[in-house]
Structure 1
């Protein structure tokens, strides 16, 4: 299974103990993938359409736990997508009870003007905000494989819903952003630590452990690669500098100028020819009067200037 499916499966297994959190999670599913119909006789129909089996299972269990309602489940095959479409139907008084509980329907039977959004009364407490986000991810969320990239999103169908969702994320301490993609508005997170936070607050602890193990491995691997690249660059730089030093020294030797160098420069030049791969520190330690790296570098630069003067 994909990482996204693993997360949804784990979220399906978690049932909030508090009824108000169960209702908040129900509200998220209805707001993001639900449809409400009124029959000719004034009855209510609440339908949840989804291609995700975990969303169906969780919504069914939430209805049973919070309202002792058994939704009617139907399945049909979507031939164009080669997938299954699941529908849960709740009707009549049961539908009315659920819609009243999530504050989409008043006791008088009228819908809120902004019925596509969740009522603030449903997500007043932090625990209910977390439950709502859990339901939102189950309804229309996805997460990329952390071994490849860090990307998490919940896709909604209006800017108002997206803004509301980013607000709820912010209230639980997670910074989410939104973009417009054709006729949809994905609310997304790309920072790995923010995704970890989401997995933690929604009770997806097994997925969180898996995510963190991959994240730590990738961080260590990246640090090792950076260190290796840095060391490789330093080796190349050192080798290039040593090659230039040897060119200058052999040039002076070929024009019989090597022996004319001052004692300290001549000694160092001969050591460089004898130890072409030695570092500046190692060369300094081989001198009769040891020198530090900066002292050795200073003398080698003097040799190079003398070589350049003789090339003119």
Structure 2
């Protein structure tokens, strides 16, 4: 079971909400899950979910809160890549128009309301939380721990986006609108804000689990990055040591016996310990010196060899 399924299961198990809060959740789930359809001219309220527990919650709530004979119908669809997606449709055919009016899908003039019912948008904080819970149960997504953090809800309209933004603001949370191809949605990216929203909706247990796994994943990712960084540094150091040894060997060939003893000793240490770091070469020197000192001596050795090589080339041109 994915963590998203666990979140939705926890939200669907909440049972101690007030009647108004349950009505807000019902109304928002109906709007975000589908809304009104017309079958042979008859209004049918139907909403589709990928979470079976969410669909079962809505079916039971429609029966107990508003006494509608709600049906639940399972189905599936096959994607182009061959994977199968299961879905669950909750629908009310008898008295569909009355339900649409009662839930705010239609206003009193019979016009469809594309957003969240104003009754719940202007209601108490419990209703606002329930509205967000219903929207998330219907079309919410949550990133897996250890990946780039996000929570988003795909919305049925731009009006629904604005309503969710305003509802979140009443809860003290800022969310952003986002358009992906033809769909509109609201999204949160800050991990702490996501955890807070999960708790406000009622998913306290899975919020802590998501946060804990996220931190664990970030720590593991940081450790991997550091390990990779160390490996890269080691490879660069080894490559630099090989190149330095080649340069020292050429310097010895150019200078022959005309090398100051301290520079010769430093160069010989480089040749004798090709894989050693400068710090290690400094400790091997007699007497021991700092890595800056050993690096300086090797640098002066190479500079001297370059100078002598240029002088010889200039003299050869004169001859």
TM, length-normalised to structure 2: 0.77
Structure 1: state its 5+ residue gaps.
Answer: 39-43
Change (3 A) 1:104 1:76: closer
Give the corresponding residue for 2:222: 223
Give the corresponding residue for 1:272: 270
Change (3 A) 1:130 1:76: closer
Work out the CA distance in 2 between the residues paired with 1:153 and 1:249. 61
Q: Is the 8 A contact 1:103 1:122 kept in 2?
A: no
Deviation of 1:284 after TM superposition, in Å, equals 1.9
Give the corresponding residue for 1:284: 282
Q: Is the 8 A contact 2:29 2:47 kept in 1?
A: no
Q: Is the 8 A contact 2:179 2:185 kept in 1?
A: yes
Give the corresponding residue for 1:14: 14
Deviation of 1:297 after TM superposition, in Å, equals 2.0
Deviation of 1:239 after TM superposition, in Å, equals 1.7
Q: Is the 8 A contact 1:105 1:112 kept in 2?
A: yes
Q: Deviations over 1:170-189 (max 9, x none)?
A: 4431433320432x323334
Deviation of 1:219 after TM superposition, in Å, equals 1.0
Change (3 A) 1:201 1:243: same
Give the corresponding residue for 1:58: 57
Give RMSD over aligned pairs: 3.5
Change (3 A) 1:93 1:303: closer
Deviation of 1:12 after TM superposition, in Å, equals 1.1
Q: Deviations over 1:76-109 (max 9, x none)?
A: 656788856533327559946x845x56677xxx
TM, length-normalised to structure 1: 0.78
Deviation of 1:54 after TM superposition, in Å, equals 2.3
Q: Deviations over 1:211-267 (max 9, x none)?
A: 23432232122211221222122212222222222112212333453x433232222
Counterpart secondary structure, 2:120: coil
Counterpart secondary structure, 1:260: coil
Give the corresponding residue for 2:116: 118
Give the corresponding residue for 2:137: 138
Work out the CA distance in 1 between the residues paired with 2:169 and 2:261. 71
Work out the CA distance in 1 between the residues paired with 2:54 and 2:232. 52
Deviation of 1:192 after TM superposition, in Å, equals 4.2
Where do 1:1-40 residues align within 5 Å?
1-33=1-33, 35=35
Work out the CA distance in 2 between the residues paired with 1:120 and 1:293. 73
Give the corresponding residue for 2:315: none
Q: Deviations over 1:21-60 (max 9, x none)?
A: 222212211322354589xxxxx96723224432321123
Give the corresponding residue for 2:89: 86
Work out the CA distance in 2 between the residues paired with 1:238 and 1:114. 69
Work out the CA distance in 1 between the residues paired with 2:72 and 2:245. 82
Give the corresponding residue for 1:41: none
Structure 2 residue corresponding to 1:307, chosen from 297, 302, 305:
305
Q: Is the 8 A contact 2:30 2:47 kept in 1?
A: no
Give the corresponding residue for 1:198: 197
